[in-house]
Structure 1
Amino acid sequence: MLKEKYPFYLANKPEMPNTDLEVVDKYTGKIATRVAVADEQTIDRAIEAAHKSVEALRAMPSYKRQEVLYHLVDRFTERFEELAMALCIEAGKPINDSRGEVTRLIETFKIAAEESVRMTGEYLPLDRSPRGKGYVSTWKRVPIGPCSFISPFNFPLNLAAHKIAPAVAAGCPFVLKPASLNPVGALIIGEALSETDLPEGAFSILPCNRDGARLFVEDPRLKLLSFTGSPAVGWSLKAKAGKKKVVLELGGNAACIVDEDADLDDAISRIVFGAFYQSGQSCIGVQRIMIHERIYDEFKSKLVAATRALKMGDPKKEEVFIGPMISEKEAARLENWINSALKKGADLLCGGKREGAMLEATLLENVPDNEDICKKEAFGPVAVLSEFKDFNQALKQVNDSDFGLQTGIFTRDIY
């Protein structure tokens, strides 16, 4: 279970000036713990500390950075079940999927540890012309400087790790704003980091209100912004980021084509997982399914049966596959999208019912193309079926989207 309260981390050290952020158990809706919230003055202090730590971090030899990363691997391995249960409670992620994310967290830091001693360069002879005779050039990679990280709620451990681990490996100080809905996992990462001998100011992990997060984006002392979240927010932040480099990982509306020669059982098992894993709250979650007309009825029947068989309920139970969405507000939004499609002539194949933050795994067909459930990112347990006759037309349908993050094709014919 979670502790009663958690501090934030400012310049490597825990601080508990308040317990203003309530973190709820996403299944029960009850307060699970309380977390310290950073104000703008605290964020400013964190950025200044990161700025001052630049030279000390650059001087830290790579084997020392590798030791830090391997320490984190060891600590996360020791605290495996604690991390998994924290994720299960604060994110509503089923316990087996939570364990999978902790496994990915550990693997991410292992990879970073390996790469931390491979920061190479290149020696380039320049005598490709007479005027370059006797000249050579060399280059090497150097830390970019203080980094600003904003991580999302759907993979609060691993997507924070995707930012933190490379920063430590490269020798870059950072400030991280974890998702306010589930910041505990990131704070446990901070606790493990605080046990190391990183220079003072090398990291800060600061839950904060969105209104107070301006400095994460706009402060010129920060040399890189890495944001994972929605396209609308991501592009807005990029416009405010000034001269710093910006790395965006945004949303998706993934489509799958199931051709007439596909292995149906294999396709169904993989699409069910892709569409409904962690209640569809993934940027690469399967949202549109295009099925060849010759196999449409058989595939639909099997897919509906497999979807109905998914166990829904308390994510702490081993057998549960469908847990709550991140909030009742998000579940209600998606329920409205489903109902809008039904009013416009769509057919409900299964699911569609909501209770609080719990939304059933839902399949629809005959949905008008201009409905939100087709055009926008659902980010929940809903997928839309349609049939096609011509493969090239199916490809055009896949590409008729504002998103381009991921797609899948099930076929035995790669030509």
Structure 2
Amino acid sequence: MSDTLAAAPHAHDLVVRDKFTGDEIATVSQLTVEQALDAIADAQRATVTAAALPRHKRAAILEGAAALLKERSESVADLIVTEAGKTIRQARKEVCRAINTLRLSAAEALRNAGEVIPFDSFPGGENRQGWYTREPLGLIVAITPYNDALNLVAHKIGPAIAGGNAVLLKPAQQTPLTAQLLVDLLVEAGLPEEVITVVRGNRYVAQALVQAWNVRMVSFTGGFATGRAIAATAGIKKLAMELGGNAPVLVFEDADLDLAVKASVSGSFWAAGQNCIGAQRILVHRSVFLAFLKSFVAATEKLLTGDPRLEATDVGPMISAQAAEGARAKIQEAVAFGAALLTGGELKGSLLTPAVLTGVPRTCTLWEEEVFAPIVIVEPFDDEESAVIAANDGEYALQAGIFTNDLNRALRVAGAIDAGGVMINDSSDYRLDAMPFGGSKYGSMGREGVRFAYEEMTQTKVVAVAR
């Protein structure tokens, strides 16, 4: 153990609070660094159990967990509302997506086992035949965020189980209950308990997990600073990271403005803006800028902010009052430098009303960094070239959106935008759980999406037979 870890303070019990009311809903224990090291050793032994599970058993467990999740979907959605602050309608959608993620993982366990290699495709190989298989990596550390407390956990542990791996799961400090619930469902569906170890702890515990010699991969979703720290300390092991975005949406003069407004309002303020692919910078052709802006502000002002348990609520609380205060400070910074706040930005505890700004200088935090809050910038552009330059301005590039009725332009601009995904005639925040998901530039390392995560979490083994 390093001197830093040896000197780490012991973690106190973790108090989990209702994100809207602030009431305490649970107290859970956290591990010390010493206990985390013991957990790593136990999890390493569990790699034998995980790898020995036949593929049909892995698939049955994942399908069984999906069925249990469907049976209990309303109670799980209620937990997400309480613990993560999503509105009840958003929470139900997340449960549906997690069910699909588990089912996709089950299918991957049965489908993606390897293939035959055509050795006779090159001279000298005529007397050989063989194949490659996909084998488990071994022990995987999965570090998950709070904003999709169920589905992003499923996106890590589903493919890991499908690939025959053991997992050390460190959920977000703000949302440990939802992560534990999913693990419990998998165990109830037949997964040996030792295959997934839930580790709750402070940053020193996370550091111990990342540094562990026998960990073969770290899969992390979270902030850039934390990702950089993981990369600096992990050592020689696979890293898969999704480090956030600052998504642009481009609206051209020939776009269906009603569609663009409706999709962009949803894309900007879903999950109180705590969405790594949420629209943050909406760039609109100057000829339709004022019309779009007027309609967008009017639609934003119709959103109901408040109690996430109410069916009518559109925007619930942010993850904490501190996060909401930090987001409000970024609005104030932009206004101080000349931006116009057109609506929203009102703070009440952990609630921040959806904010729309224009005239934001490109040196402001709202333009340069991921905001992760219900805040959006709307700015005009004059031509396609300048729109693409503005869209590509930044070091985070997960997804983007384009609205136009010109197919040639749509494909041309999609090719020019530097991002992991470009949605045409849709907001940036569309994601299918089966598609490859990740960014370019400093936005990510590797890809999620069940098939792609499964391939990251397995390794090939070639068998060649000489006749």
Pair 1:405-2:393 in alignment: no
Q: Is the 8 A contact 2:272 2:374 kept in 1?
A: yes
Pair 1:26-2:22 in alignment: no
**Residue 25 of structure 2 aligns to a residue in which SS?**
strand
Alpha-carbon deviation of 1:144?
A: 0.7
Aligned pair in 2 of structure 1 residues 379, 129: CA closer, same or farther (>3 Å)?
Answer: closer
Paired residue for 2:351, among 358, 364, 368? 358
Paired residue for 2:292, among 296, 299, 306? 299
Stretch deviating more after TM superposition (303-312 or 202-211): 202-211
Work out the CA distance in 1 between the residues paired with 2:122 and 2:273. Answer: 58
Q: Is the 8 A contact 1:54 1:173 kept in 2?
A: yes
- Equivalent residues in 2 for 1:113-128, closer than 5 Å: 113-128=106-121
Paired residue for 1:265, among 258, 264, 267? 258
Paired residue for 1:310, among 273, 297, 303? 303
Work out the CA distance in 2 between the residues paired with 1:124 and 1:206. Answer: 40
Work out the CA distance in 2 between the residues paired with 1:81 and 1:315. Answer: 14
Q: Is the 8 A contact 2:17 2:24 kept in 1?
A: yes
**Residue 168 of structure 2 aligns to a residue in which SS?**
strand
Please name the residue that 1:348 is paired with. 341
Q: Which amino acid aligns with 1:366?
A: G
Please name the residue that 2:202 is paired with. 209
Task: Give the root-mean-square deviation of aligned CA atoms.
Answer: 1.4
- Equivalent residues in 2 for 1:311-350, closer than 5 Å: 311-350=304-343
Equivalenced residues, count: 398
Alpha-carbon deviation of 1:44?
A: 1.9
Please name the residue that 1:179 is paired with. 172
Alpha-carbon deviation of 1:199?
A: 3.8
Pair 1:241-2:263 in alignment: no
Q: Which amino acid aligns with 1:152?
A: P
Paired residue for 1:218, among 211, 226, 232? 211
Aligned pair in 2 of structure 1 residues 368, 19: CA closer, same or farther (>3 Å)?
Answer: closer
Alpha-carbon deviation of 1:128?
A: 4.1
Alpha-carbon deviation of 1:365?
A: 0.6
Aligned pair in 2 of structure 1 residues 131, 208: CA closer, same or farther (>3 Å)?
Answer: same
Please name the residue that 2:148 is paired with. 155
Q: Is the 8 A contact 2:187 2:193 kept in 1?
A: no
**Residue 124 of structure 2 aligns to a residue in which SS?**
helix
Work out the CA distance in 2 between the residues paired with 1:112 and 1:135. Answer: 33
Q: Is the 8 A contact 1:19 1:34 kept in 2?
A: no
Stretch deviating more after TM superposition (53-62 or 162-171): 53-62
Stretch deviating more after TM superposition (291-300 or 126-135): 126-135
Q: Is the 8 A contact 2:80 2:91 kept in 1?
A: yes
Alpha-carbon deviation of 1:200?
A: 5.1
Work out the CA distance in 1 between the residues paired with 2:293 and 2:87. Answer: 26
Q: Is the 8 A contact 1:53 1:200 kept in 2?
A: no
Q: Which amino acid aligns with 2:342?
A: L
Pair 1:85-2:78 in alignment: yes
**Residue 385 of structure 1 aligns to a residue in which SS?**
strand
Aligned pair in 2 of structure 1 residues 203, 182: CA closer, same or farther (>3 Å)?
Answer: same
* Contiguous gaps of at least 5 residues in structure 2: 1-10, 409-467
**Residue 294 of structure 1 aligns to a residue in which SS?**
helix
Work out the CA distance in 1 between the residues paired with 2:29 and 2:224. Answer: 28
CA offsets 1:189-233 (integer angstroms, 9 cap, x no match) = 122223244345211112212232222200011111000001111
Work out the CA distance in 2 between the residues paired with 1:141 and 1:349. Answer: 54
Please name the residue that 1:10 is paired with. none
Pair 1:368-2:357 in alignment: no
Aligned pair in 2 of structure 1 residues 194, 39: CA closer, same or farther (>3 Å)?
Answer: farther
Alpha-carbon deviation of 1:102?
A: 0.6
Q: Which amino acid aligns with 2:86?
A: K
CA offsets 1:2-24 (integer angstroms, 9 cap, x no match) = xxxxxxxxxxxxxxxx9921111
Stretch deviating more after TM superposition (102-111 or 51-60): 51-60
Stretch deviating more after TM superposition (202-211 or 283-292): 202-211
Q: Which amino acid aligns with 2:42?
A: A
Please name the residue that 2:270 is paired with. 277
Q: Is the 8 A contact 1:290 1:385 kept in 2?
A: yes
Work out the CA distance in 2 between the residues paired with 1:242 and 1:137. Answer: 34
**Residue 131 of structure 1 aligns to a residue in which SS?**
coil
Please name the residue that 2:127 is paired with. 134
Pair 1:387-2:383 in alignment: no
Q: Is the 8 A contact 1:252 1:405 kept in 2?
A: yes
Q: Is the 8 A contact 1:331 1:357 kept in 2?
A: yes
Aligned pair in 2 of structure 1 residues 197, 45: CA closer, same or farther (>3 Å)?
Answer: farther
Work out the CA distance in 1 between the residues paired with 2:12 and 2:189. Answer: 26
CA offsets 1:98-127 (integer angstroms, 9 cap, x no match) = 011011111111111111111322222333
**Residue 401 of structure 2 aligns to a residue in which SS?**
strand
Please name the residue that 2:430 is paired with. none
**Residue 141 of structure 1 aligns to a residue in which SS?**
strand
